[in-house]
Structure 1
Amino acid sequence: MKGLLLRLSALDADAATAVRVIAHFEALLGSGALDATSLARSTAGLAECAAGLELPDGRRARFGPGGAALPAEPKVVSQDAELGPSGRVWLERPGPPGPFDDLILEWMAIAARTLCGSPAPPRMPHASLTPRTPGSREVADPALMEVVLSERESDHDRARALRLLGLAPELPLRMVAVRGDPAVDAGLDAVALLGRATLDAVVRVTRTGPWGTVLVQPPDGAADSPAAALRAAVADPLRGAVADPLRGPDVPRDAARRLRVGVGGLAPGLAAQDSWRQACTALRFAVAGSPREAVVDHDALGPVALLADIPAERLGALPEARQLDALATQPNGCLTIAALAAFCRTGSLRQAAAELHLHHSSVAARLAHVEAALGWRLRDPEHRFQAQLALYARRLAAAEVNRALKSSP
């Protein structure tokens, strides 16, 4: 947990605080010595305001942020959470609620239910207590997300899981797949990315297998794709400037931008698995680096998405894909491939150079190298189309992506 917190702190302060809150209560629950006094005292210290609880069996506890016991009856309750017909937990914060008070209360309630001996609800940080509000982003329970995405579950169970996540089963949604550095928890990458994105939607994020799994439900079923906002989040210069604690402070700027994101199409709430499959397909077309390449929208792929139905082995065996692989292994080969991709996408030498932050003569030299190696004339639309297909084939054949696909829901 300490290593994950270090990584997340470097990426997004709010996400790191959320994980610290969760880690605090998980440590309490796993200590074997949880009681009403320790729960109320530790929560008050964590929230930096008075906190209290009243259990259905009559036990009460109330403490100030400094650890001093307070009279049982609270003065002013800023927020509370019910524990059933005769119990509750609460915070007493002067002024407006803190940004993580809902999260703290949800986990305090989970711990209090454990004290009562009653089964706690699934662990999902304040998803069930938070109203469905556009712009809210919550860390979700992976088990609930798996139910939402499962084809084996009934519509009733999927609808219940959506409601427990704070979502509306009757409204459409989109799934987003996030893949970052394989050495780092993909859920943390997804939390950091979504914490930076500006989405007018209810967002739930977790990790499912090797994926960062994101559910986005726009208000009133709006069809707008979150792809543009996610590209802006990937392009955030703060992310590129972060030193990677897993590799030391001298990692090049571009090495920090390892995220790839696939955005699924809009689907009915009870058919989220359809959007998830599209998101995973879109992710196979994504390449870390340029935000335009790193975030792929399945809707924008159109008929190109059908290439993903071709077995990866056949795509990787294409001579042009192998030649591009060989070019990529040469000095600065990855930049050569990036120049080719940018030119194929824009059709303009200067636009490609601007996107890559290179001089146009540098891009021209790299494209000339590609033309000499593969026999293409990239100003010819037919040859440029062949180059784009070869680039797609190389991406879809990537071994790491396809290994991850086999373990996806």
Structure 2
Amino acid sequence: MDDDVPRLSMLRADTTSVLRLIAHFDALTGLAPDAVVRSAALVAGCPVGAVLDSEPVWFDGAGSPISGPPLDDVQIDRPAPHPLDVVLLDQLRRALRTIQPGPPLRLGEPGLLEIAVSPREQRRDRLRALHLLGYDLDQPVIALVLAGAPEDGLDALARAGAGRLHHHRLGRLTLALTQGGPAPRELAGHLHDDLAARRPASTGLDRAVDVWIGIGEPAAPADAPVSWHQARTALRFASSTVFGRRAVPYGPLGVLVLLAELPPSQLAATPGVAALETHARTPGGALDVEALESYCVFGALRRTATELNLHHSTVAARLGRIEAATGWRLEDAMDRFQATFALLARRLVTSDRTLGDVG
């Protein structure tokens, strides 16, 4: 009933309102396409249009059919946009796609991989896309995301024996889907060793993206979007710092994935991360932070000195400056844990800064 329709004029741009809109459009299953567009117009409180059977259909904010301009997608016509207009259009588009399935998928379409990993597509369309790509629908698939030089990452995947592999460029990132190759942890080890040997990390320099790879967990073909989401999360833990990993599998991250749920601004503001970031901007501070990361990775002063090709007294001096800047005492187990935790959080912040939006 029209009285049950959530009105944008009464909603704010918050999570509760977004969930109300999603629930409203989910409840429209089974309605005719024009009824769905009419409901969207009632929600918007202004004219809303969509293409139905190749013809534009418009309803005004009261739910009455009106004439409107030609269009090739869903559209809202209002003088000043509402913050939730984009959510409404997205939900309307999804609802109409469910009612009006698009043309049959064809072999060789460049968007097949995108369909296969999209949670917005219907299950049957995801499976059809994977079938056309030659994947076995009875075997799990693994999604990967590559940032940087995709050809180097794809070559490394081939050398690692990644099994059946298809890939598709998505702006600055590359989506890949494998089947029948090594398990994610083993695959990540092969890829990291391969890429680290071919592109050695340098200390004391800002790290641009060379090749970073996030790897999702194996998933049933119908659940490929889950593996794709995991891969994008894992990518954020990749090597924005010199001792990071070039390829990161999602599964072994364990509870560390909770860090990825926090906004980067909140991570950057935590005391340990903020102190490291401030110190890294002082003369020689970036090298001190690298010494700390090496110490947390290798666990011993002399091993750290060997890895950094420095005298152990130089490393001790750098760690001493870190202790003075943060208040940590690195011989204390809890302080070492805090240092490791802060380094991981800082890696997320710096990776996000370097990658931009990976979503």
Task: Using structure 2 for the length normalisation, give the TM-score.
Answer: 0.61
Query: Which position in structure 1 is the counterpart of 2:63?
Result: none
Task: Note if contact 2:191-2:247 (Cα within 8 Å) is conserved in structure 1.
Answer: yes
DSSP-derived class of the 1:214 partner: strand
Residue 207 (structure 1) aligned to one of 152, 165, 169 = 169
Residue 269 (structure 1) aligned to one of 209, 221, 243 = 221
1:283 and 1:218 mapped to 2: Cα distance? Answer: 22
Query: Which position in structure 2 is the counterpart of 1:113?
Result: none
2:274 and 2:332 mapped to 1: Cα distance? Answer: 22
1:259 and 1:296 mapped to 2: Cα distance? Answer: 12
Residue 320 (structure 1) aligned to one of 272, 279, 282 = 272
Residue 310 (structure 1) aligned to one of 240, 249, 262 = 262
* Inter-CA distance 271–387: structure 2 relative to 1 (3 Å threshold): same
2:344 and 2:244 mapped to 1: Cα distance? Answer: 14
Query: Which position in structure 2 is the counterpart of 1:170?
Result: 138
Residue 230 (structure 1) aligned to one of 191, 203, 207 = 191
- Report the CA distance between 1:158 and its aligned residue: 1.2
Query: Which position in structure 2 is the counterpart of 1:6?
Result: none
1:265 and 1:386 mapped to 2: Cα distance? Answer: 28
1:229 and 1:207 mapped to 2: Cα distance? Answer: 23
1:161 and 1:149 mapped to 2: Cα distance? Answer: 10
1:353 and 1:214 mapped to 2: Cα distance? Answer: 38
Residue 259 (structure 1) aligned to one of 191, 208, 211 = 211
* Inter-CA distance 187–320: structure 2 relative to 1 (3 Å threshold): same
Task: Note if contact 1:200-1:218 (Cα within 8 Å) is conserved in structure 2.
Answer: yes
DSSP-derived class of the 1:404 partner: coil
Would you say 1:400 and 2:353 are equivalent positions? yes
Task: Note if contact 1:327-1:333 (Cα within 8 Å) is conserved in structure 2.
Answer: yes
* Inter-CA distance 156–291: structure 2 relative to 1 (3 Å threshold): farther
* Inter-CA distance 153–202: structure 2 relative to 1 (3 Å threshold): same
DSSP-derived class of the 2:154 partner: helix
Task: Map 1:52-71 to 2 at 5 A.
Answer: none
- Report the CA distance between 1:147 and its aligned residue: 0.6
Would you say 1:386 and 2:338 are equivalent positions? yes
Task: Note if contact 1:263-1:295 (Cα within 8 Å) is conserved in structure 2.
Answer: yes
DSSP-derived class of the 1:203 partner: strand
2:317 and 2:246 mapped to 1: Cα distance? Answer: 24
2:168 and 2:141 mapped to 1: Cα distance? Answer: 16
- Report the CA distance between 1:216 and its aligned residue: 2.3
Query: Which position in structure 1 is the counterpart of 2:128?
Result: 160
DSSP-derived class of the 1:310 partner: coil
2:304 and 2:169 mapped to 1: Cα distance? Answer: 34
Identity %: 38
Counterpart of 1:226, as a letter, is L
* Structure 2: runs of 5+ lacking an equivalent: 1-104
* Inter-CA distance 348–212: structure 2 relative to 1 (3 Å threshold): farther
Task: Using structure 1 for the length normalisation, give the TM-score.
Answer: 0.54
* Inter-CA distance 230–290: structure 2 relative to 1 (3 Å threshold): farther
- Report the CA distance between 1:305 and its aligned residue: 1.2
- Report the CA distance between 1:268 and its aligned residue: 1.5
Query: Which position in structure 2 is the counterpart of 1:147?
Result: 115
Deviations 1:50-70 (A, max 9, x none): xxxxxxxxxxxxxxxxxxxxx
1:223 and 1:371 mapped to 2: Cα distance? Answer: 37
Task: Map 1:243-392 to 2 at 5 A.
Answer: 258-288=210-240, 290=242, 292-392=244-344
* Inter-CA distance 372–279: structure 2 relative to 1 (3 Å threshold): same
- Report the CA distance between 1:402 and its aligned residue: 7.1
- Report the CA distance between 1:385 and its aligned residue: 0.9
Task: Note if contact 2:215-2:234 (Cα within 8 Å) is conserved in structure 1.
Answer: yes
* Inter-CA distance 224–321: structure 2 relative to 1 (3 Å threshold): closer
Q: Give aligned pairs, total.
A: 252
2:284 and 2:134 mapped to 1: Cα distance? Answer: 47
1:120 and 1:302 mapped to 2: Cα distance? Answer: 39
Task: Note if contact 1:231-1:295 (Cα within 8 Å) is conserved in structure 2.
Answer: yes
Task: Map 1:11-160 to 2 at 5 A.
Answer: 121-122=107-108, 141=110, 143-160=111-128
Following TM superposition, the consecutive aligned residue runs of length 4 or more in structure 1 with deviations greater than 6 angstroms are 252-257
- Report the CA distance between 1:254 and its aligned residue: 8.9
- Report the CA distance between 1:383 and its aligned residue: 0.3
Counterpart of 2:134, as a letter, is G
* Inter-CA distance 253–401: structure 2 relative to 1 (3 Å threshold): closer
Deviations 1:263-312 (A, max 9, x none): 22222222111112112112212224546533322212111111111222
* Structure 1: runs of 5+ lacking an equivalent: 1-118, 124-140, 181-185, 242-251
